[in-house]
Structure 1
């Protein structure tokens, strides 16, 4: 089994530094362009199926990457983004900070102890649902010889990859993955191996990290 785990393309809330979570934002024009460039770079990959978060920005990214391939695309809510609850839509960068908490930086610097909004979701809860998805997926007999596109989100992707990383002490592995960054995972006999990490198919001029653990 080969898994290509992609983060969605750019959205306007990415540009504006707003928390998206499970708000159903759309790709902006640049996000569509980056997804198309990524699709061109992945055009020779023989995908058998795709699985996407039900949120539009991930689903549209998956549709663009799969292109004209006649393969099924399934939705799974377990790989949608972390819910920030009532904090969604609020600015989270220094220049536009609106979150009613003095400890939001824990999300980047100490995520496993991050305290969300009362109606939000913890990193542990995200890890539990993404792990359930991942373990179910890699043990499906009918998928053992398949090449699968998985379209998800920045935080959810890192949670998924905790099932692959040898060192799970650094949740972010340096930073939030870039828009349309791809992680390639090989699964054999239930064991996972990371083949490529955070690969982007576009040029350095487009590498903008809107949310970073180094901010």
Structure 2
């Protein structure tokens, strides 16, 4: 019996628009982020989602609530869906990080297998916790349709685990826009990505 998992990232936030790193810290959805979430919510209305799993961080929680709409679907919050913990970088402008931690920031975006955090998590830490999460929900909800609301690195880690691709290729695939939609199907002996980071529900002014 196959389990279908719909994956999305939270809507755009204030810190996204300012070029700040977020991680476990939070900033609210901005107007564009609210519109992005509503557009995806409209698209998901025709689907029979059994359970929503969400990161407990505010921007993901708010997005999950918008996507749920008026449907009677439980939302379960799981710490394993948090964004990568960026330690001292959280809340900092990316340009300022680059001036202080130039080589570390380069590794973060170009050679994540070599990235060492400043009081945060490694990419492998996120790969491990997301793999554990997916195993648990598939075992618990076999045959169900699940929606996951999470963050860029967390979502890409889930896709990487499904494909069995090495960490050195982490950033090679499609850009994960806010509220883009990916779909994976997991059966007894198969794991398939059916859709990757689709934004066909976007209006032109919803793109970054």
Same fold (TM over 0.5): yes
**Which of 148, 151, 155 is the equivalent residue of 1:150?**
148
Which residue of structure 2 aligns with residue 212 of structure 1? none
**Which of 42, 45, 51 is the equivalent residue of 1:43?**
45
Give, in whole Å, the separation in 2 of the partners of 1:149 and 1:82: 20
Aligned-residue offset at 1:190: 5.1
Which residue of structure 1 aligns with residue 170 of structure 2? 171
State the SS of the aligned residue for 2:28: coil
Q: Which runs of 5+ in 1 are unaligned?
A: 209-215
Q: How many residues are paired up?
A: 202
Q: 1:105 to 1:176 in 2, by over 3 A?
A: farther
Which residue of structure 2 aligns with residue 211 of structure 1? none
Aligned-residue offset at 1:114: 1.0
Which residue of structure 2 aligns with residue 196 of structure 1? 195
Aligned 8 A contact 1:139 1:190 in 2: no
How do 1:1-215 residues align onto structure 2 when only pairs under 5 Å count?
1-92=3-94, 96-99=95-98, 100-103=100-103, 104-117=105-118, 119-140=119-140, 143-168=141-166, 169-174=168-173, 176-189=175-188, 191-200=190-199, 201-208=201-208
Aligned 8 A contact 2:174 2:196 in 1: no
State the SS of the aligned residue for 1:172: coil
State the SS of the aligned residue for 1:196: strand
Farther off after superposition, 67-76 or 131-140? 131-140
State the SS of the aligned residue for 1:195: strand
Runs of 4 or more above 4 Å deviation? none
State the SS of the aligned residue for 1:150: strand
Q: Which runs of 5+ in 2 are unaligned?
A: none
Aligned 8 A contact 2:175 2:197 in 1: no
Give, in whole Å, the separation in 2 of the partners of 1:176 and 1:84: 20
State the SS of the aligned residue for 1:157: helix
Larger relative helix fraction:
2
Aligned-residue offset at 1:175: 5.2
- TM-score, normalization by structure 1: 0.89
